Structure 1
Amino acid sequence: MRYDIRLTIEYAYAAPSDHARNLLRLLPSDIAGTQRVTSRLLSTDPMPDERRDCLDFFGNATTSVAWHQPIDAVSLTLRATVERFTPRPMLDLSPPLAALAQEIGEVQSLRSDAPHHFLGASPRIATQDEITAFARERLKPGFSALEAVTQIGRALHREMRFDAEATTVDTTPAEAFAARHGVCQDFAQVMIAALRGIGIPAGYVSGFLRTFPPPGQPRLEGADAMHAWVCAWVGHDMGWVEFDPTNDQFAGLDYITVATGRDYSDVAPVRGVMRTAGAHETRQAVDVVPLDKG
């Protein structure tokens, strides 16, 4: 399935900034066997005084931009065409959960996709006794690693409520779990904490999700949004799988990956520093438009 992706992020500041620097993770990249990017362009208005494009440790396309002259507004625009491949049938070839630690220990690599990076605490996610207990209560004797991932993701989908106004980007997994509500970022980070708490390496995936209008209704331009879900390592034979606890499903044709990391801090679409005063306003619009029938 091919998609035309359009993203606009706009910032307006109450007072001009005399210096601003941002780190952007907005460009999707090729992923072997999963997706292919046939075109991509990330532009900024005004044009930055500095721009550098590179890959970070996890292989995410990263753009560093800086302005040295006063600016009172910034617009970031992404245009990309991405092909998402049909996932292979998922057969459970993962080991029993009790045997997963041995398979993790047998991985003799510290490459970016090694499970070791995704098992311990990360900047925004530490194991929490309450979340770990919740995960353990959903397990049955003899569960495979994949069954554990599936059951925990589905349990969080049932027991947490999606609420776009309930949390902020700085809400911790413990706070979101205690309140049982949040946005996709919260669902993902709570699930990551739950999986790590029972010994399953887990990470955070940022990207786009194709959405469908109600029957008989046209698509609304700009109505889509960036999305977040979870990747989990379930053994040598299966490697990494991706589950979306917000929507209770494995990632498939409707998901386009932009960045993967240990938690939101590794994949934040826009991070930066600036010297200014007063408040700022921001607006985001996303369109994920299929180019093929289906």
Structure 2
Amino acid sequence: MLYDVSLTIEYNYAATSDRARNLVRLLPSNIVGVQQVRQRLLQVTPRPDERRDGVDFFGNAMSMVAWHHPIDAMSLNLTAKVERFDTIVPLDFSPRLAEFARDLSAVHGLGPDAPHHFASASPLVSPSPAMTAYARDLVDPDMTAMQVVEVLGRALHRDMTFDPEATDVNTPPEEAFENRHGVCQDFAHVMIAALRGIGIPAGYVSGFLRTFAPPGQPRLEGADAMHAWVRAWVGQETGWIEFDPTNDQFAGTDYITVGYGRDYGDVAPVRGVMRTSGGQESRQAVDVIPLEDVT
């Protein structure tokens, strides 16, 4: 499936900033077997005094922008054309959970895709007794690692409620899990913590999700949103798989990946520092528009 993707993020500051610097991760990249980027452009307004584009350790595109003069607003505008390949749920050649540690220990590399980077605590996600116990109550040692991922993801979809008012970007996974409410970031962080707690490496995926208008209603421009889901390493034979606990499904052709990381902190769309006073207002609009199927 071929998609036109557009995103606008706008910030308005109560007072002009005296210098600002941001790290932006919004550009989708080519991923072998998953997606191909035909076109991509990130425009930053006002024009920054510095801009450096590069790739981080995990292979995500990133742009560093900075202003050396006062600004009172900033906007990011992404346009991209991305082909998402048809994907099917892979055959399950993953080891049983009881034998999984042996499979993991046989991996010796430490490249960006190595599961060892995703097996233990990361800055925003640490295994917790409560989430580990929740996972252990759902699985048994004779399940394969892939079965464990699916069972846990579907259970979180059943037991947690999507609630955009319940949390914010700084809410820890423990709080979201205790209250059983949150947004896609919380669903992903809880699932990652639970999987790591029982020994399965898991990471965070940031991207876009194609959404559908209710039957009989027109599609609203700008109504789509950035999304988050989970990737888990389930053994040397099957490798990485991706599951979306918010929507109770494996990631497929409706998903466009922007970045991989250990948690949200590795792939946050916009991070930065600025010197100012007062608050700020922000607005976001996203469109994921499917074009004709690629033949």
TM-score > 0.5, shorter chain as reference:
yes
Correspondence 1:244 to 2:244:
yes
How far apart are residue 140 of structure 1 and its match? 2.7
How far apart are residue 49 of structure 1 and its match? 0.2
- Give the distance between the partners of 2:170 and 2:145, measured in 1 at CA: 30
Equivalent residue number for residue 7 of structure 2: 7
Gaps of 5+ in 1: none
Equivalent residue number for residue 108 of structure 1: 108
Equivalent residue number for residue 198 of structure 1: 198
Equivalent residue number for residue 161 of structure 2: 161
Aligned positions of 1:35-46 closer than 5 A: 35-46=35-46
- Give the distance between the partners of 1:110 and 1:73, measured in 2 at CA: 41
How far apart are residue 99 of structure 1 and its match? 1.2
How far apart are residue 88 of structure 1 and its match? 3.4
- Give the distance between the partners of 2:185 and 2:100, measured in 1 at CA: 26
Equivalent residue number for residue 253 of structure 1: 253
- Please give the per-residue CA displacement for 1:13-48, whole angstroms capped at 9, x wherever unaligned: 000001000000000000000000000000011000
How far apart are residue 114 of structure 1 and its match? 0.2
How far apart are residue 90 of structure 1 and its match? 2.2
- Give the distance between the partners of 1:277 and 1:141, measured in 2 at CA: 55
Aligned positions of 1:1-294 closer than 5 A: 1-292=1-292
- Give the distance between the partners of 2:97 and 2:24, measured in 1 at CA: 37
How far apart are residue 89 of structure 1 and its match? 4.5
Aligned residues: 294
The one-letter amino acid paired with 1:247 is: N
- Give the distance between the partners of 2:109 and 2:140, measured in 1 at CA: 31
The one-letter amino acid paired with 1:256 is: I
How far apart are residue 216 of structure 1 and its match? 1.7
- Give the distance between the partners of 1:237 and 1:112, measured in 2 at CA: 18
The one-letter amino acid paired with 1:123 is: P
SS in 2 for 1:10: strand
The one-letter amino acid paired with 2:73 is: A
- Please give the per-residue CA displacement for 1:177-215, whole angstroms capped at 9, x wherever unaligned: 000000000000000000000000000000000000011
- Please give the per-residue CA displacement for 1:140-178, whole angstroms capped at 9, x wherever unaligned: 341000000000001100000000111010000100000
How far apart are residue 4 of structure 1 and its match? 0.1
- Give the distance between the partners of 1:141 and 1:125, measured in 2 at CA: 24
Q: TM-score, normalised by structure 2?
A: 0.98
SS in 2 for 1:149: helix
- Give the distance between the partners of 1:292 and 1:123, measured in 2 at CA: 41
- Give the distance between the partners of 1:164 and 1:110, measured in 2 at CA: 37
**Residue pair 2:89, 2:250 contacting (<8 A) in 1 also:** no
- Give the distance between the partners of 2:184 and 2:292, measured in 1 at CA: 27
- Give the distance between the partners of 1:56 and 1:141, measured in 2 at CA: 36
Gaps of 5+ in 2: none
- Give the distance between the partners of 2:2 and 2:194, measured in 1 at CA: 34
The one-letter amino acid paired with 1:69 is: H
- Give the distance between the partners of 1:108 and 1:90, measured in 2 at CA: 24
Tell me how large the CA RMSD over aligned residues is.
Answer: 0.9
- Give the distance between the partners of 1:284 and 1:89, measured in 2 at CA: 32
How far apart are residue 293 of structure 1 and its match? 5.3
Which stretch shifts more, 193-202 or 88-97?
Answer: 88-97
- Please give the per-residue CA displacement for 1:78-122, whole angstroms capped at 9, x wherever unaligned: 000000000134211111011111111111100010000000000
SS in 2 for 1:147: helix
- Give the distance between the partners of 1:14 and 1:141, measured in 2 at CA: 55
Aligned-pair identity in percent equals: 67
**Deviation >4 Å, runs of 4+:** none
SS in 2 for 1:75: strand
